[in-house]
Structure 1
């Protein structure tokens, strides 16, 4: 089998035959695609069809064509229409994260450490997406199984298997949360940058959403299994009654006649409404219809036609432009002024004129912000001073 030599050749080939590939993908479940049907979509050019077969995009078997499994799986994953739930993929990603965390902690080269960290970030993102997709697929498969599976035994068995997959997804979520919150503290202390922190927050949100959905799925499975159990008992009894009837022993072996005689459930049935729709010509030309319309209208003469209430006019004071001004503390400008002095930073901030009222606690906050942002431009001495119960180090410009 020939292969594509680069991405450009692959994308171009898929683009050129997008009509055929889209048609085969859309009918991948409803019909067997024949070679004669496919040749029409490539303008009767057998070379174009043979090219896809040789490259492994399409497989041919006895005059029937189908998309290759890897392309079919790719399209289903990207378009989010896959039905298979691959839980081992999530488990493998967790193992890969643990392995790369060990590699990261043992590595001394910064470039290789960055590559390990990059892989860990990518895998954490992947776990969140795959878990969400697995939960969606699980719910969809449960609905389809309950509604479309005709065999009751297979329906119950499939739902029980889907329930096992639900428990596996729930366990994988617990292992992932355990990995983040209680394991690998050393790694997260060393490698937790802003991007990884954001990824972890998003992942926890996704896993929390999945956990809540799994609770609803569990309730749904229990309800469906109870319905199947009830329906199964009913069908079993119905089969026994039919067996007795077919063998003409139902009257002798059961009390069905006495039970039916006691039942009188017609009065409880819902009354069916049968509206009579008259033609427009009959209503327009028949005098009896006109008299009936006038008689009915008298019963509704007291109906009031409510006029919509108009809102009051908006006051002019709400339409005028209003401007609110607030004096903000510019840390960079404050740093520039401090660099031109020989005073210590804390004393400088206490005596600085901010053009607005700034209390002592806020000035302490500004002191800490300046040190954290411009630490490389400041000299922190081993001497300390205490002001208003706050002890701080003496900081000077370099």
Structure 2
């Protein structure tokens, strides 16, 4: 790459990244899936090869054959700013500590007031940077630990990655102890550089280290739990494979006690738990006023309003008296049996029958039709007809 091909101002850099944000976003999202084809990148920038060449010449993209990649410095910057980096940079904290030691030495050896103030500011900034990077490494460690356990499909790789993360956890803890030791041993510097800003920075960094310690303790515990779960799952997988092999060889019943185990197990544990509502008895509600007051307080606390009810008028003495209502319905079978024992024709018998209620001629005609329909085989038709109140009816006797 040409030595002159670099961004000279922040404005030039941000404008270039803003103009090509669609391409960079697309490549960043797919950085783990594939190498980005140059043809697709050219299509995204509207077929303008000069725009693509500018990104390559200025070191934003790297061309490898017919594919493109985001340059490692920009890729690390994007991942770190967006908190999606998978690498735990313990060395960066160690570099801060080493630089911190150097600047403290420079401060103690310097005689010029202005340059000493510059070294003092550098130490304060490095302390803040050390605390910030330590907390960031802890957060990245926690995220990578969870992602490894949940997304890594290979059991061996999953366990190995968790063990490596555990080692990095111990490394971060060692860095914290080293920085705390440095802050405790360099009393001469902190006495000479005693100002409110430095004191506040030291207090903040120590607080960050305490938070990091607590988080690392939880991470160590969780890593142990994850590794134990992986071992248990691996053992279970091996047992299942062995059972599968014995089943295929028709030896599972003779070589194992699986039948006895299945018989001894109670399948009810797989059922969902049944919950039953406890209802208060009406007697308790009527006899104990305290229960009613408690229920009203609970209803008011939960915003349940009592629905208004309209009370009915009290019953009068007339309402309480016994009243009998006679129905017009009769038993057709009873009427037919009485008709069969008589010598009247059917319609005449219906007119003469002793009913409990008063009936109209329409009711008699309806009953006549019902009896004929219900007993067609027992009716004797004479072929003669008669008339009663403008109603013509056939003369029918019982057989």
- 2:269 alignment partner in structure 1: 268
Name structure 1 gaps, 5 residues minimum. Answer: 274-301, 311-398
Structure 1 residues 47, 183: CA separation in 2 closer, same or farther (over 3 Å shift)? Answer: same
After TM superposition, list the pairs within 5 Å mapping 1:97-108 onto structure 2.
97-108=100-111
Structure 1 residues 240, 50: CA separation in 2 closer, same or farther (over 3 Å shift)? Answer: same
Structure 1 residues 140, 5: CA separation in 2 closer, same or farther (over 3 Å shift)? Answer: closer
Q: Does structure 1 residue 41 correspond to structure 2 residue 44?
A: yes
Cα distance in 2 for partners of 1:220, 1:126 equals 27
**Secondary structure at the residue paired with 1:81?**
coil
**Secondary structure at the residue paired with 2:185?**
coil
**Secondary structure at the residue paired with 1:169?**
helix
Q: Does structure 1 residue 195 correspond to structure 2 residue 211?
A: no
Which digits, 9 at most, give the CA deviation of each residue in 1:8-54, with x for residues without a partner?
Answer: 33222222212221222223224432222212221211110111112
Which digits, 9 at most, give the CA deviation of each residue in 1:248-278, with x for residues without a partner?
Answer: 3333433333433x334323321499xxxxx
After TM superposition, list the pairs within 5 Å mapping 1:296-375 onto structure 2.
306=299
Cα distance in 1 for partners of 2:97, 2:199 equals 18
After TM superposition, list the pairs within 5 Å mapping 1:188-337 onto structure 2.
188-260=190-262, 262-271=263-272, 306=299
Which digits, 9 at most, give the CA deviation of each residue in 1:49-96, with x for residues without a partner?
Answer: 111112111112232222111100011112222111010111111111
Name structure 2 gaps, 5 residues minimum. Answer: 275-291, 304-399
Structure 1 residues 309, 244: CA separation in 2 closer, same or farther (over 3 Å shift)? Answer: closer
Which digits, 9 at most, give the CA deviation of each residue in 1:139-189, with x for residues without a partner?
Answer: 001101111111112211111111111111111111111211x20111111
Structure 1 residue 247, shift from structure 2 partner: 3.3
- 2:59 alignment partner in structure 1: 56
Structure 1 residue 306, shift from structure 2 partner: 4.7
Q: Structure 1 length normalisation: TM-score?
A: 0.65
Q: Does structure 1 residue 12 correspond to structure 2 residue 15?
A: yes
Cα distance in 1 for partners of 2:302, 2:48 equals 69
Cα distance in 1 for partners of 2:68, 2:271 equals 53
Cα distance in 2 for partners of 1:13, 1:195 equals 38
**Secondary structure at the residue paired with 2:158?**
helix
Q: Which has the larger Rg?
A: 2
After TM superposition, list the pairs within 5 Å mapping 1:60-139 onto structure 2.
60-139=63-142
Cα distance in 1 for partners of 2:120, 2:130 equals 15
- 2:143 alignment partner in structure 1: 140
- 1:384 alignment partner in structure 2: none
- 2:152 alignment partner in structure 1: 149
Cα distance in 2 for partners of 1:210, 1:151 equals 30
Cα distance in 2 for partners of 1:309, 1:250 equals 59
Structure 1 residues 309, 41: CA separation in 2 closer, same or farther (over 3 Å shift)? Answer: closer
8 Å contact from structure 2 (residues 135, 212) kept in 1: yes
**Secondary structure at the residue paired with 1:43?**
coil
Cα distance in 2 for partners of 1:125, 1:230 equals 43
Which digits, 9 at most, give the CA deviation of each residue in 1:314-368, with x for residues without a partner?
Answer: xxxxxxxxxxxxxxxxxxxxxxxxxxxxxxxxxxxxxxxxxxxxxxxxxxxxxxx
Cα distance in 2 for partners of 1:82, 1:32 equals 18
- 1:383 alignment partner in structure 2: none
Q: Does structure 1 residue 23 correspond to structure 2 residue 26?
A: yes
8 Å contact from structure 2 (residues 142, 219) kept in 1: yes
**Secondary structure at the residue paired with 1:60?**
strand
8 Å contact from structure 1 (residues 60, 66) kept in 2: yes
**Secondary structure at the residue paired with 1:28?**
coil
8 Å contact from structure 1 (residues 4, 10) kept in 2: no
**Secondary structure at the residue paired with 1:44?**
coil
8 Å contact from structure 2 (residues 7, 58) kept in 1: no
Cα distance in 2 for partners of 1:36, 1:95 equals 46
8 Å contact from structure 2 (residues 62, 71) kept in 1: yes
